[in-house]
Amino acid sequence: MLSSTRSGKGKKRIDRPFEIRIDGSRRGAFEEARDAITSAQIAQQEHPSAFIAVADRLTGRLVAQLAF
């Protein structure tokens, strides 16, 4: 888990660092990447033609992308 430094400078703490993105819209936040990926797989079943990915909330980088 990310934490801030004593001086207040550095990366801010995010309690749920992973999120699901469905066609670019942010949906749900998770503490564990595994939980976010499982939820993304369920979302893929509900929205089979959508672009679904799991992203790191701090950096915005994609952690996983589900194929469609």
Per residue in 14-25, pLDDT (tens digit) is 788 999 999 999
Alpha helices (H) in the chain, listed in sequence order: 33-46
Locate 55 and state its tokens: 């992203």
Other Cβ atoms closer than 10 A to 28: 16
Per residue in 5-47, pLDDT (tens digit) is 444 456 667 788 999 999 999 999 999 999 999 999 999 999 9
Cβ atoms 22, 8 nearer than 8 A = no
**pLDDT for 35:** 96
Asked if pLDDT for residue 1 goes beyond 60, the answer is no
Asked if pLDDT for residue 55 goes beyond 50, the answer is yes
**pLDDT for 9:** 58
Name the CA dihedral angle for 57, 61, 64, 68, rounded to a multiple of 10 degrees: 110
